Structure 1
Amino acid sequence: MSPLPRPRPAVNWFCAGAALSTLCFWCLSSWFTIVNDWLGLRITYDTRPWWLVSAMTTVSLLPWLSLGLIVLLRRWRGPAYGATAFGSGIVAPYLLALGCLVLLPTLDDHWHRRGFDSAAWKANQAADPLWPDRLCMVDDLLARVTFVGLSQERVVELLGPGDRGPLSNGWNAVYWLGPQRGAFRMDEEVLALRFGPEGLVVEYRILLD
C-alpha cells in the first residue's frame, strides 16, 4: 500500500495564515464577551482601558506583522518560508466573508420566492417576519402582470385596495411588502402604483421607505 501523500508546504502556510486571520477576527468581534463574560469585567467600548485598546490594536495588526516577518525570513533564509501562501491565507477569510455578504442575501431571496396568489397577497401573513407573503411573491407578480394600462378595478381585484403609509402621497396605491432585501435589511420595500386620469396604471415601482 502506497503511503498517503504528504501535505504540500504551501498548503500548510496557507492554512496557518487563514487560521491566524480567523482567530484574530474572532477575538476582535468577540472582545465584549471575552472581557465581560469570561473575565468578569464591566467595560464598554467607550470605557476601554489602555491595555485593552493596545491589545485589540495588536490583535488587529498581528496577521500583517506576521506576514512581514515571514517575508523577511524568506529573504534571509530562502523559499522554505511560504510568504505568498501565508498572505493568501490571511486574505482568504476576508474574501470569504465578503462573498457571503454579497451572495447569501441573493440566494436567500431566490430561496424564498414563490408564485403569486391573490388571497395570500391580500392576507399578507408573516410566518417569518423577514419574509412576509407579499415580499416572497412580488417578483412573480411583476413578471406575470403588466401593470401599465391596467384598470384600477382590476388592481383592487388582484391586490386589494392598498395600504396607507408615508409613501402614499403622490401614489394612488401603496402595498407594503416587507423588510428590504439584501445584506442590510433596515428599510421597508413597498410596491407603489400611480393611476392616470382615466383610472389606468401609468407608473409602478418598488420603493424603499
Structure 2
Amino acid sequence: MDLLARKAFAEFLGGALLAATVVGSGIAATRLTEDVALQLLTNAVITGAVLVALILALGPVSAAFNPVVTLVERGLGAIDNRCTAALLTAQVAGCCVGVVIANLMFDLSAVDISSRDRSDAHLLLSEVVATFGLVVVIFGVVRAGRSASVAYAVGGYITAAYWFTSSTSFANPAITVGRMLSDTFAGIEPASVPGFVGAQVLGGALALGAVLALYPNTRRVAADLVEAAENPS
C-alpha cells in the first residue's frame, strides 16, 4: 500500500470510529438518563477521549479526520491537490459509515435521516467559532513545536467546545454530513447541513489567516515537513 492509500485509509478509519463514538455515545446517553446536561456531558467527554486515542494511534500516518483541517493543510502547501481529494473523500465516507454502524449497534435502522433542525443563525455563528478555535489549536500547537501534545489539545478543546458553543461544536464537515443519517441526539437535518458546512469552512479560512499572522514562517515549516515525509531517512 503506497503512502497516499495509507493516509486515506487512516482518515477513513479514524472518521468512522469518531462518528460511531459521537453518535453512539449520544444514543447511549439519552437511553441512560433524561437529564439533558448529563447527556451532553457524557457525549462531550467520550468524544474528547476518543479523539485523543485516535490521534495518538493514527497520527503517524494521518489523523485530521476533518475536511477543514485538510483544506488548511492544502492552503499551507503541506499536501497537494491529489492528496487533498483523496483525504476529503475518505473522511466523508468514513464518517457516514461510522454513523451507520452506530445506528446498527443500538438496534436502529442503518440509515434514519435526522429531523433535528439546526438552522438558527446563532448555531451557525457557533460553528464558525468552534472551527476557528479548533484549527488555531491544532496548527498553533504543531507550530509551537509541541506536536506530541496535539491529541490532548484537540481532545480537550472539543470537550470544552461542546459546552461553550450553542451548536455543541460539530466543527467538521465530514461528521456533519454523517450525522444527518441518524435521527438521534447527535443528528442534524439535511436542510441544516449546507449552513453548518459553510460556517465551518469560513471558520477554517479565518483560522488559516490567524495562524499565518501568528507564525509568519508556517508555510516554510510546512514545506520542510512535506520534504521530510517524501524523503524519509
TM-score by length of 2: 0.28
Q: Which has the larger radius of gyration?
A: 1
TM-score by length of 1: 0.30
Higher relative contact order (CA 8 A, sep 6+): 2
Q: Give the helix-richer structure, 1 or 2.
A: 2
